[in-house]
């Protein structure tokens, strides 16, 4: 007989006690994302949680159990602004409130239990008695729209689309390449022909485990070099902040290191481009990259992605996750689209809807002002 139990865990001891059951759940879920793993979330909390007199991050790990079996888990941060019991503002959101390090922040759930774990958002909204709480609800658009349509205690204020592109692989590279659009086929010919013309030989090096961890500083340097380029599409340096580099270093001190791959493109023995990735079983998740701008004319990142695709096919991967963001470096490969969405919500009553809307407008004005000031 089923004995479903919804619980909210609030202590680090309870968080640590979830390790075994959380990792067991990971092994039962298809299409597992790196950001859903216990190791990613435990290190995230260690590095990014913050507390001071007027700002306090608390744990709110929502879990769904059937007896001793963990069916779903949704790690949330419960952030109070103001004195704790008399807060003026509270923000309840999934782990991963960082500048794009945690790209997809959705709960981990066995099939059939996603709707149940999402319903805990309504439970949390009903418990609110004082101050304004803003809830950040994230999942696929279909799941979140269904949740909002059936849970009247939560009111959406703002929506942000999070496009995620998935590349489905063929059994071999020639068949996969034959199905590509003309523009990317021509780009690939240019990449390899330009190297041949200048007498350069490309080789893919795949670093795993400790070998990948030992080359992290080289990855940070190439990522920064690409971010510093001014004559191409701008990309931020997501690891410029020491805390962000510390997060990745700490993550690779856990069992997550076994999932980590560092793809390196060598030209005549020199590494000129790198892409960090996570091997999630059937799916290879491509994370951040960097390259030596002195070799930009060879389109080395396009060549590196092509080499990674060939490697993934050889390793019998079924999919490559090209990560989030709607840009041509992803769409040119003809991937399938998964639509995630992020809603900013409040408890569904008049004064909270009005106050929440006003605060969102103020934040937008502040961001626009800061952007204009930095551009000057």
- Do 288 and 215 lie in one domain? The reply is yes
Q: Is the pLDDT of residue 9 over 70?
A: yes
Residue 1 has a pLDDT of 38
User: Do 263 and 237 sit in the same domain of this protein?
Assistant: yes
- Token pair belonging to 5: 């139990």
Q: Report H helices in the chain.
A: 12-17, 19-26, 38-48, 114-118, 120-126, 141-150, 173-178, 182-197, 209-214, 216-228, 242-251, 300-314, 328-331, 350-375
Q: Are residues 9 and 147 in the same domain?
A: yes
- Residue 113's pLDDT is 95
Confidence of residue 80 (pLDDT cuts 50, 70, 90): confident
Q: What is the pLDDT of residue 110?
A: 96
Looking at the structure, tell me whether residues 9 and 148 fall in a common domain: yes
Q: Please determine, for residue 87, whether its predicted confidence score (pLDDT) is greater than 90.
A: no
Domain co-membership, 89 together with 40: yes
pLDDT value for 234? 76
Q: Which of 50-54, 88-92, 295-299 has the highest mean pLDDT?
A: 295-299
Over residues 145-198, the pLDDT tens digits come to: 999 999 888 899 999 999 999 999 988 999 999 999 999 999 999 999 999 999
| Mean pLDDT score, 354-369 | 78
Closest CA to 33 of 195, 360, 25: 25
Q: What is the distance between the terminal CA atoms of the chain, rounded to a whole angstrom?
A: 65
Of 53-67, 135-149, 284-298, which range is least confident?
A: 53-67
pTM reported for the whole predicted model: 0.92
In this structure, what CATH number is given to the domain that contains residue 305? 3.40.630.30
3-state secondary structure of 86: helix
Residue 152: the pLDDT is 87
The mean predicted confidence, pLDDT, of the chain is: 91
Whether residue 144 is found in the same domain as residue 187: no
* 331, part of any domain: no
What is the total count of domains within the chain? Answer: 2
Is residue 329 a part of any domain in this protein? no
**Is residue 31 in some structural domain?**
yes
**Kind and range of the H or E run holding 91:** strand 89-94
Host domain of residue 256: 170-317
């Amino acid at each position: 007989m089923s004995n479903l139990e919804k619980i909210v865990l609030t202590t680090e001891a309870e968080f640590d006690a979830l390790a075994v059951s959380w990792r067991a759940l990971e092994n039962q879920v298809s299409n597992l994302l790196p950001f859903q793993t216990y190791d990613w979330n435990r290190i995230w909390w260690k590095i990014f949680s913050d507390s001071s007199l007027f700002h306090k991050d608390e744990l709110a790990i929502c879990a769904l159990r059937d007896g001793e079996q963990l069916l779903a888990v949704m790690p949330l941060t419960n952030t109070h602004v103001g004195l704790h019991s008399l807060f003026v503002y509270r923000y309840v959101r999934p782990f991963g409130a960082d500048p794009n390090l945690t790209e997809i922040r959705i709960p981990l759930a066995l099939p059939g239990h996603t709707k149940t774990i999402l319903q805990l958002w309504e439970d949390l909204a009903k418990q609110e008695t004082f101050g304004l709480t803003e809830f950040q609800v994230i999942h696929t658009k279909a799941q979140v729209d269904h949740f909002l349509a059936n849970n009247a205690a939560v009111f959406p204020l703002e929506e942000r689309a999070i496009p995620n592109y998935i590349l489905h692989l063929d059994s071999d590279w020639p068949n996969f390449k034959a199905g590509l659009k003309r523009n990317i086929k021509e780009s690939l010919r240019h990449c390899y022909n330009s190297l041949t013309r200048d007498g350069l030989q490309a080789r893919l090096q795949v670093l795993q485990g400790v070998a990948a961890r030992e080359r992290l500083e080289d990855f940070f340097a190439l990522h920064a070099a690409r971010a510093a380029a001014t004559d191409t599409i701008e990309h931020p340096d997501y690891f410029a902040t020491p805390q962000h580099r510390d997060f990745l270093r700490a993550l690779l001190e856990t069992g997550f290191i076994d999932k980590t791959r560092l793809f390196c493109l060598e030209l005549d023995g020199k590494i000129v481009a790198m892409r960090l990735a996570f091997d999630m079983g059937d799916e290879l998740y491509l994370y951040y990259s960097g390259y030596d701008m002195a070799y930009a004319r060879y389109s080395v990142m396009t060549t590196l992605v092509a080499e990674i695709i060939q490697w993934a096919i050889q390793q019998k991967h079924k999919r490559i996750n090209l990560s989030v963001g709607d840009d041509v470096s992803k769409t040119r490969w003809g991937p399938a689209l998964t639509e995630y969405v992020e809603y900013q919500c409040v408890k569904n009553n008049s004064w909270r809807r009005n106050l929440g809307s006003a605060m969102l407008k103020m934040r937008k004005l502040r961001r626009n002002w800061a952007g204009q000031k930095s551009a000057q």
